[in-house]
Amino acid sequence: MTVFVFVDMEGISGISGSDFVKTDGRLYATGRRYYTEDLNACIRGCFRGGATAVIARDGHGGGNHVLWEDLDGRATLVQGPTGTVRLAGIEECQALILLGYHAMAGTRGALLEHTYSSASIQNMWLNGRPVGEVGIDAAIAGDYGVPTVLVTGDNYVCREAREWIPGVMTCEVKQGLGCQAARLLPRETARRMIEDTTAEAVRRHAGIEPLRVARPVTIRREMIERGAVPSRAESAAFHIVDGRTYETTAETVERAFFG
Using CB atoms within 10 Å of the CB of residue 109, give its burial: 0 to 12 exposed, 13 to 18 middle, 19+ buried.
Answer: middle
Active-site residue among 102, 114, 205, 239? 114
CA–CA separation, 69 and 36 (whole Å): 10
Contacts of 127 (CB under 8 A, 6+ apart): 213, 214, 217, 218
| Active-site residue flag, 65 | no
Q: Which residues are known catalytic residues?
A: 114
